[in-house]
């Protein structure tokens, strides 16, 4: 049994994998609940991705699983080639999502679009090369920015897809953010398709389903994409360990 943990600032998302397949998904776990959950299922291997907790704390809290614990860091071995000028600044979630796309579409070109607090558009090719991509403000951030940096614009929430021409300030803001973001998504996909043909478009993140049906290109929504990638990274590191210690058999 493998356990993949995507640990955010407030809550964690976890995936239990057996034989490479996602068997159980948990969301919204605070840190104490996460520790209790891990203790209850007692996984064989664990991989953790986080920018919120230190390596020292994680090793202290999950130390009983060492050496079967993998903390995803810039130096962690991954089954992908990072063609990125500053790999030490590359977010672990972007790496994991790209590898998750490789699991779903092996030896195929993919663009991974993560629609969350920030939106990222990352290109991974059929030869498992991560080319990098684009980072832009997410939907909620755009609404908040208009309210924060102006005197009179209100803070509003999305209300579904608006008409292009807003007949009120609120509707105009809705159109600017939502239709503007949809145009951005479609435009970036078109530009990626001009670089590599036959690209699979994979969406993840909290706003993925909001936009999926409006995107021109066929696309695939996978909410657990980061967890799928984390599990593949864990498998990759277990394979390396077993290859260096052939006398030790490790069961997943």
Residue 12 belongs to domain spanning:
1-80+224-252
pLDDT tens digits, one per residue of 59-112: 889 877 766 789 999 999 999 999 999 999 999 999 999 999 999 999 999 999
Residue 19 assigned ligand-binding role: no
Task: Report residue 113's pLDDT band, with 50, 70 and 90 as the boundaries.
Answer: very high
Say yes or no: 112 and 215 in one domain.
Answer: yes
Residue 242 assigned ligand-binding role: no
Say yes or no: 179 and 127 in one domain.
Answer: yes
Say yes or no: 134 and 206 in one domain.
Answer: yes
Region 200-209: mean pLDDT is 95
Burial state string for 91-118 with b = 16 or more CB within 10 A and e = fewer than 16: bbbbbbbbbbbbbebeeebbbbbbbbee
Residue 94 assigned ligand-binding role: yes
pLDDT tens digits, one per residue of 116-169: 999 999 999 999 999 999 999 999 999 999 999 998 999 999 988 999 999 999
Longest dimension (CA), the chain: 71
In a domain, 97, yes or no: no
In a domain, 148, yes or no: yes
In a domain, 91, yes or no: no
What is the CATH classification number for the domain harbouring 47? 3.30.420.40
pLDDT tens digits, one per residue of 18-33: 999 999 999 999 999 9
Determine whether 247 is an active site residue. Answer: no
pLDDT greater than 60 at residue 248: no
From 61, 93, 207, 247, the catalytic residue: 93
- What is the reported pTM? 0.90
């Amino acid at each position: 049994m493998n356990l993949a943990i995507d640990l955010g600032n407030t809550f964690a998302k976890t995936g239990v994998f057996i034989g490479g397949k996602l068997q159980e998904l948990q969301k919204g776990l605070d840190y104490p609940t996460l520790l209790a959950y891990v203790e209850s299922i007692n996984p064989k291997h664990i991989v953790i991705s986080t920018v919120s907790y230190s390596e020292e704390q994680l090793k202290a809290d999950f130390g009983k699983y060492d050496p079967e614990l993998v903390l995803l860091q810039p130096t962690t071995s991954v089954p992908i080639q990072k063609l990125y000028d500053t790999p030490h600044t590359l977010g672990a979630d972007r790496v994991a999502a790209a590898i998750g796309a490789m699991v779903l579409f092996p030896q195929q070109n993919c663009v991974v679009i993560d629609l969350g607090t920030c939106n990222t558009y990352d290109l991974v090719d059929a030869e498992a090369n991560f080319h990098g991509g684009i980072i832009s403000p997410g939907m909620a951030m755009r609404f908040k920015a208009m309210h924060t940096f102006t005197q009179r614009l209100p803070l509003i929430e999305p209300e579904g897809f608006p008409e292009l021409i807003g007949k009120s300030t609120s509707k105009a803001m809705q159109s600017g953010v939502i239709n503007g973001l949809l145009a951005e998504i479609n435009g970036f996909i078109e530009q990626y398709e001009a670089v590599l043909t036959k690209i699979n478009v994979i969406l993840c993140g909290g706003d993925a389903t909001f936009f999926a049906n409006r995107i021109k290109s066929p696309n695939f929504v996978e909410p657990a994409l980061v967890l799928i990638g984390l599990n593949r990274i864990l498998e990759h590191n277990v394979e390396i360990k077993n290859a260096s210690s052939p006398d030790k058999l490790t069961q997943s």
